[in-house]
Structures are given as C-alpha cells and as structure tokens.
Amino acid sequence: MLGLKKHDLSLLIIVAILTMAAPFLLNPFPTESGMAQFNAGYPDLMQKFVIFGIFAIGFNILFGLTGYLSFGHAAFLGVGSYACVWMFKLLGYNVLPGILLSIVVSGLFALLIGVITLRRSGIYFSILTLAFAQMSFALAYSVLSNPKFNLTNGETGLQVYADDPQWFHSDRLPDLPHLFGLSMRATHRMELGAWEFQFNVGYYMCAVIMLLCFYLAIRIFRSPFGLMLRAVKSNQQRMNYTGLNSRPYTLAAFVISGMYAGLAGGLLSAVDPLAGAERMQWTASGEVVLMTILGGAGTLIGPVLGAGLIKYFENIFSKINESVLHGWFGFLPDGLEDFVITLVYPFVGKGWHLTLGVIFMLVVIFLPGGLVEGGQRIGRLFRGKKPSGAAKSATTEPAE
C-alpha cells in the first residue's frame, strides 16, 4: 500500500499513530502531581518536536544517505522562517502561501550554496557550508537590515506590524497565523480525571506535514535515487568509474534537504510569527547534526527520535531548578541532601547541555547507530536471537 513494503508501511503507521496520539502519550502525569513538570504534551513543545523532526528528516537525506556533513543547514531554516513572515506581512496571516514560499526560497538558496560547496567533499565541504551559514547569519543580523533596505529587521527579528500591507487580510480572519480561518493557537483542552490534554491546531497541522515528509523520505530511501545516494557515501570512486556522475546526485540531495529545512523554518514562523537571525546561527546547525547522530544517521526514524530527545531536554530538563531538587531529595538527611543536590545540580536547569553532552558521548561510543541501534538491541534481547532485518523495533519508543 502507498507504494511501501510491509515493514516500511508498519513503521509509517506506528509513527502516524504516535504523532496523532501525542497529546495523550506525552502527558502521562496528572496535572497536580509532582511529576507534571515532565509532561511534554503542551502545544509549544509538541510543535517543536514535529517541526525539528522535519528538519532532521531532511538533514538525514543528505547526511545519512550521502555522508556529506553540512554544518550550515540552519541557514535554510532561517531563510524559510523569513520567507514565511514576509508572506504574513504582504498577503496576510494565512500560513499556506508562507509555507509554500519558504520551501521554494530555501530550495533556490540551497541550489546556489550547493553548487559552490559540493565542489569539495569531507571536512572541506563541512567548513564551506559552515562559512556560508555564518555569512547568511551576518547578512540577516546586520547587513540586510538597514533603513533603506530592511529585509530581516536585524536583532529585533522580522515580525508583522500594523502598517504592513496584508493585502488579503480581512476583519473576519484571526489576527494571528491561521489556516483558512483556523487559528494556529486554537487549542481544545480536555479534562480527564486528574489529567488534562491539549489538542492544538498548529501542532496537528505540523504533525500531518511531518508525516507527509516522513512518507516522502521513506520513498526516497527506497528509490533508485536513494540507492545512488548511498553509493555516494560508500565509494565515490567506484561510482565515477561505473559511469555515474555523483555531483548532480549530491546536489539534488542537498537541495531536497535544504527544502525540508526551509519548510521547518516556515512552520516555526507559522506557529509563532517572529523570525530572528539566531535561527541561522552555527549552534542551530550543530543541533540538527546532533539530533541526526543521536537518533541514528541513515535510519528512517532515528532523526525524529533524536530531534524529540534534544527538544525534550532543552525544554524539560532546563526547567528543573534547585527548589525542585530540594523537593525530590527532601527525604534525605540534611547533609546528604545538600551533597546529592550539589552533585546533581550542574546537570539540570541551565546545565542541561551537560547532560545532553554526556548522553551524546555515551551514544556515539556505545551505540554508533544511535537510539535506533539501541532499540534494535533491546528488541533482539526480547525476541531471542531471531534473524535481524525485521522491523526496526525502536519505533516503540515514545514519539517525542
């Protein structure tokens, strides 16, 4: 069905079920309980999960398949964000034109950068992409923001002002991003005993788009084109002496992944109509590399898992402060309590990067295949030593 083999189809279905049920799955703790702060089922974070999932899925098409490690993909994310906000400013708050334009503009931008950077491979390619992204950042941050020609609105970030044209805006429509009148912020809250679940329009729109992106990625992975991309990674020499021109293949992969990134950027603006230059910074480019490697580069589901894990840490672990720790370890004798908290404290709150770093190191050293490999190993343990090649069991992990 859908042109997929059985095990890819079941993977797609599982991911679809998990993303659709995410508002329930990510809120396992009752609202009033002490564990409620670990709930991730609120719109803002769920949107990030799927949007960065798209970013990472696209990045994986380039990095996972061809092995070309781009350190500049945030530039496309940023370009997509700006393009979308510009559509808000010019046309109005319907997200559709903005999302479409963000894909087109980032695709063209990726074509330009790809033609230049793909002349080199390996570390030189990475450095070139990094240089381009930093140039884009500088352009967005200062150069393209001056009174005569203000494309990016510099440090403040690009946003919609009251005197913007918004040609197609009418009073009947929400004064915030919407899809044909359906506001991205609209959230239905459902109380169920001690639990509360939130169903947000912006999340569901992004989730459906992510599923489409995921489906497309599966098709690319299994296509002759995908096979050629894997050939690029495996042995470019053999490829060239087999009569294949690797350059257009890598360029196509680069542009496709740039379009995914642009789409993700457009969606970020769609759920929050403010585009800042910091989205293009090298840390943002590095983040998607971490997501992909953490989840499992070259696997289908890995990047989505990696994106979820990192966003979860960024938003949940960073909220744990000292008083929360005192709450947890209050049962210990005073001296011991202080000691334990001193030990734990650097790893939570602002120190969440430290925990992430440790996890990243452990994964790279012990699970080079990322979380997906971890899941496969666990799956194998449970199933006994059945021949491998069966469905990637990692999908049973939370859909974060």
Partner 1 sequence: MGILEVKNVNKRFGGLQALGDVNLSVAENTVHAIIGPNGAGKSTLLNVLVGKLIPDTGSVMFDGQSVLGRKPYEINQMGISRVFQTPEIFGDLTVMENMMIACFAQRDGAFRMHAVGSMWSERDIVATAEDMLESMNLQDKRDMHSASMSRGDKRRLEIAMCLAQSPRLLLLDEPTAGMSRSDTNNTIDLLKKIKQDRDITIAIIEHDMHVVFSLAERITVLAQGTPLVEDTPEKIKGHPKVREAYLGESQVAA
Q: Which is nearer to partner 1, 210 or 256 (CB)?
A: 256
108-112: long-range pairs with CB below 8 Å, 24+: 109/75, 109/76, 109/79, 109/258, 109/262, 110/76, 110/254, 110/255, 110/257, 110/258, 110/259, 110/261, 110/262, 111/251, 111/255, 111/258
Which region among 102-110, 118-126, 227-235, 341-349 touches partner 1 (by CB under 8 A)? 227-235
Q: Of 33, 142, 245, 396, which lies in the binding site for partner 1, with binding defined by CB under 8 A? A: 245
3-state secondary structure of 215: helix
Report helix angle 74-90 to 122-138, nearest 10. Answer: 30
Which region among 229-237, 260-268, 331-339, 350-358 touches partner 1 (by CB under 8 A)? 229-237
Please answer whether residues 127 and 72 qualify as being in contact, where contact means their C-beta atoms are separated by less than 8 angstroms: no
When asked if residue 3 is in the footprint of partner 1 (CB under 8 A), the reply is: yes
When asked if residue 388 is in the footprint of partner 1 (CB under 8 A), the reply is: no
Q: Which is nearer to partner 1, 60 or 81 (CB)?
A: 60
Please answer whether residues 245 and 239 qualify as being in contact, where contact means their C-beta atoms are separated by less than 8 angstroms: no
**Minimum CB–partner distance for residue 207 and partner 1 (Å):** 23
Q: Of 21, 212, 227, 364, which lies in the binding site for partner 1, with binding defined by CB under 8 A? A: 227
When asked if residue 122 is in the footprint of partner 1 (CB under 8 A), the reply is: no
When asked if residue 248 is in the footprint of partner 1 (CB under 8 A), the reply is: yes
306: region left, alpha or beta (phi > 0 left; psi from -120 to 50 alpha): alpha
Facing residues of 159 across strands? 274
Q: Which is nearer to partner 1, 47 or 236 (CB)?
A: 236
Alpha-carbon dihedral sign for residues 10, 14, 19, 21: positive
Residue closest to 263 by CA, chosen among 108, 98, 113, 129: 98
When asked if residue 235 is in the footprint of partner 1 (CB under 8 A), the reply is: yes
Tell me which amino acid residue 5 is: K
When asked if residue 330 is in the footprint of partner 1 (CB under 8 A), the reply is: no
* Chain-centroid distance, C-alpha 291: 8
- The distance in angstroms from the start CA to the end CA of the chain is 26
When asked if residue 37 is in the footprint of partner 1 (CB under 8 A), the reply is: no
When asked if residue 150 is in the footprint of partner 1 (CB under 8 A), the reply is: no
Which region among 11-19, 150-158, 165-173, 243-251 touches partner 1 (by CB under 8 A)? 243-251
Q: Of 12, 91, 205, 228, which lies in the binding site for partner 1, with binding defined by CB under 8 A? A: 228
Residue ranges in 165-224 that form contacts with partner 1 under rule CB under 8 A: 219-220, 222-224
When asked if residue 351 is in the footprint of partner 1 (CB under 8 A), the reply is: no
Which backbone phi and psi does 333 adopt, to 5 degrees?
-60, 150
When asked if residue 119 is in the footprint of partner 1 (CB under 8 A), the reply is: no
When asked if residue 368 is in the footprint of partner 1 (CB under 8 A), the reply is: no
Q: How far is Cα 59 from Cα 289, in angstroms, rounded to an integer?
A: 8
**Minimum CB–partner distance for residue 2 and partner 1 (Å):** 11
**Minimum CB–partner distance for residue 33 and partner 1 (Å):** 47
Q: How far is Cα 229 from Cα 254, in angstroms, rounded to an integer?
A: 11
Count of residues interacting with partner 1 (CB under 8 A): 30
**Minimum CB–partner distance for residue 114 and partner 1 (Å):** 15
Which region among 41-49, 81-89, 140-148, 225-233 touches partner 1 (by CB under 8 A)? 225-233
When asked if residue 233 is in the footprint of partner 1 (CB under 8 A), the reply is: yes
* Chain-centroid distance, C-alpha 190: 27
The residues binding partner 1 (CB under 8 A) are 3-5, 219-220, 222-228, 230-231, 233-235, 237-246, 248-249, 252
